[in-house]
Amino acid sequence: MDYILTLLSDPTAWIALATLTVMEVVLGIDNLIFISVLSNKLPEYQREKARRIGISAALVLRLILLATIAVIVKLTDPVFELFNHAFSWRDLILIIGGLFLVWKATTEIHNSVDPDPGPDRLNPAVATTSVAAVIGQILLLDLVFSIDSIITAVGMTDHIPIMVIAVIISVGTMFLAAEPLANFIHANPTIIMLALGFLLLIGTTLIAEGFGVHVPKGYIYAAMAFSALVEGLNMLARRARQNLLN
């Protein structure tokens, strides 16, 4: 109790909480884009369920990882060396997760531009299998994003209560933003290609991080924001042309 009271009266703890919360919310955007793109492939009555399961799993995984913080910290310890570069378990997880994201985004882009995508596309006829497949993919990426999120938190503060509060706030924000974001993507088909492009960028960044190449997150999110701005202008231009035709 004294420890909590000390934190509450410490201005630096509040600053750390605010900074970490913002960082966790930003990191959660990547997770949320993936969940939104995948859930929109399901029949409408199953989308919200898939999103809730995915985001709930993200919270549970983050809290479990926080409970095993001593193990998580050790994930950054080198386990082997290749080409004069030491790889840790975290590096391997980021590389695998990044490869999965690149593969998934590339597959979805192919299905979007190919007039005959074949049997890979999810459809209501295989809804049961599709829901399981979508949730399985969401859980896999939840794990990757959760480990990255918690290691980021460990690097920013030593106080577990601050980490827990920041994680809960960030996942709560994901819950609030999930449906509006998914509906917006569904209502604007061109946004899907933009979102898949974001996933390609995020996947490539994860692979680079896994190989020890640090890419400042500010550059990544600035590029995403600029792309979103351009797409927003395109949407306004299309609506203006439609209004003139009507």
Task: Find, among 201, 89, 206, 196, the residue nearest to 145 by Cα.
Answer: 206
pLDDT tens for each residue of 189-200? 777 788 788 878
pLDDT tens for each residue of 54-69? 888 888 888 887 777 6
Indicate the average pLDDT of the chain: 77
pLDDT of 78 strictly over 70: yes
Q: How confident is the model at residue 125 (pLDDT cuts 50, 70, 90)?
A: very low
Kindly list the domain boundaries of the chain, sorted by start residue. 2-215, 217-246
pLDDT of 50 strictly over 80: yes
Tokens read off for 221: 């999110």
Cβ contacts of residue 127 below 8 Å, gap of 6+? 42, 43, 46
Whole-number pLDDT of residue 115: 57
Q: How much is the average pLDDT of 178-184?
A: 81
pLDDT tens for each residue of 158-177? 677 777 888 888 888 888 88
CA dist 142 and 32 (Å) reads 10
pLDDT of 29 strictly over 80: no
Whole-number pLDDT of residue 127: 41
The percent of residues above 70 in pLDDT, for the chain, comes to 82
pLDDT of 123 strictly over 60: no
Residue 216: Cβ within 10 Å count: 9
Q: What is the DSSP letter of 188?
A: -
Q: How much is the average pLDDT of 33-52?
A: 82
pLDDT of 124 strictly over 60: no
Q: How much is the average pLDDT of 78-107?
A: 83
Q: How confident is the model at residue 9 (pLDDT cuts 50, 70, 90)?
A: low
Whole-number pLDDT of residue 220: 78
Whole-number pLDDT of residue 129: 46
The percent of residues above 90 in pLDDT, for the chain, comes to 0
Say if CB 42 and CB 48 are below 8 A apart: no
CA dist 10 and 17 (Å) reads 11
Q: How much is the average pLDDT of 197-215?
A: 84
Whole-number pLDDT of residue 128: 43
Whole-number pLDDT of residue 222: 83
Amino acid residing at 69: I
